[in-house]
Amino acid sequence: MLSDLLPAWRVKRIIRYLLLYAVAYGLTIIFALPFLWAVSSSLKPVNELFLWPPQLIPKTWRFENYIEIWHVAPLARFFVNTVFVTVFSVSGRILSAALVAYGFARFRFPYRNFLFLLLLSTLMLPYQVTIIPTFLLFKAFGWLDTYNPLIIPNWFGGGAFAIFLFRQFFLTIPKDLDEAAKIDGANTFWIFIRIILPLSKPVVITMVVIGFLESWNDFFGPLIYLNTPEKYTLSLGLANFQRVVSAGGQATEHLLMAASMVMTLPSILVFILLQRYYIQGVVISSGSK
């Protein structure tokens, strides 16, 4: 009777689907557990940190930890510094990459293909190869312990990836639009500002997300260029958290977890809100579309 209702192929199919869902949703636990554990630890009082076996749900919820972190370390300062660096880095990257990409996409000039290949080859160049002379150069400029080394290089093309992304997009904009404007007497810069850029909103947003994540999360740059603790960005401040916090020998893991979550939240929010654009950009970069 049962085998009439549920033939073997159907049973097989149901089992397959059950397995699929179990694996797909089971994996979310592995990916989410470090976050859950950090949030749980960040809401515990000190004495609960050391309970054995560890408890995921705090016995006493200590939300004050999230207020305390702003007092024990100059976290607000780090936050403002990071926002400053991120805003000026990302805007520079987008503006200069779009200009350069416009040059590559819309003008014919000698060695254009060679120069574009050269540009793409820098994608494979590890930044460590040039870091020491670059550091010495910025030292000669008197830029050590300022934000200039973190911001200003972004205004010179914004990197091969950004230029590539803009160029690919500009190539899909019909040239008829440029031509029509040209006949009306518009110059090329006007065409760029009034026609090309407004049509490129999706790539601009893609680069806002990618640029934000890179600048916000950057550690190496701040590490070698910034010395004064008041100038630290969040990543550098967090890395030195245990040194910055004066806990008198007491454990600070609950505060460290709270500060880590505070630093992570903007990245997660930006990604979740704009992930459609982000994913598009990543897929274009791989050439699979």
Which of the residues 208 through 267 are near another protein (CB under 8 A)? 213, 216-217, 219-220, 223-224, 234-235, 238-243, 253, 256-257, 260-261, 263-264, 267
Burial of 52 (C-beta count, 10 Å sphere; 0-12/13-18/19+) = exposed
x/- contact string, 149-188, with another protein (CB under 8 A)?
----x-xxx-----x------------------------x
Using rule CB under 8 A, residue 205 touches another protein: no
Determine the interface stretch with another protein among 59-67, 72-80, 105-113, 196-204 (rule: CB under 8 A): 105-113
Determine the interface stretch with another protein among 4-12, 69-77, 135-143, 175-183 (rule: CB under 8 A): 135-143
CB-nearer residue toward another protein: 21 or 61: 21
Q: Site for another protein (CB under 8 A): which residue of 79, 84, 135, 143?
A: 135
Using rule CB under 8 A, residue 268 touches another protein: yes
DSSP for 8-48, please give it. Answer: HHHHHHHHHHHHHHHHHHHHHHHHHHHHHHHHHHHTS-GGG
Collect all residues with Cβ–Cβ distance below 8 Å to 206 and sequence separation of at least 6: 165, 277, 278, 280, 281
Using rule CB under 8 A, residue 273 touches another protein: no
The least distance separating another protein from the CB of residue 67, rounded to whole angstroms, comes to 19
| Beta carbons within 10 angstroms of residue 149's beta carbon | 21
Q: Which residues from 55-94 bind another protein, rule CB under 8 A? A: none
Following CA atoms 231, 235, 236, 241 in sequence, which dihedral angle do they give, to the nearest 10 degrees?
A: 110
Q: How many residues bind another protein (CB under 8 A)?
A: 92
Tokens of 137: 């150069």
Tokens of 210: 């990618």
Is the peptide bond between 229 and the residue preceding it cis, with omega within 30 degrees of 0? no
| Beta carbons within 10 angstroms of residue 206's beta carbon | 26
Name the amino acid, one letter, at 13. R
CB-nearer residue toward another protein: 199 or 239: 239
Determine the interface stretch with another protein among 6-14, 49-57, 67-75, 170-178 (rule: CB under 8 A): 49-57
The least distance separating another protein from the CB of residue 156, rounded to whole angstroms, comes to 3
Is the peptide bond between 198 and the residue preceding it cis, with omega within 30 degrees of 0? no
CB-nearer residue toward another protein: 131 or 171: 131
Following CA atoms 175, 178, 184, 186 in sequence, which dihedral angle do they give, to the nearest 10 degrees?
A: -160
Say which residue the tokens 């590890």 belong to: 126
Question: Is residue 157 within 8 Å of 163, Cβ to Cβ?
Answer: yes
The least distance separating another protein from the CB of residue 236, rounded to whole angstroms, comes to 8
Q: Site for another protein (CB under 8 A): which residue of 125, 180, 193, 247?
A: 125
CB-nearer residue toward another protein: 87 or 106: 106
The least distance separating another protein from the CB of residue 88, rounded to whole angstroms, comes to 15
CB-nearer residue toward another protein: 4 or 108: 108
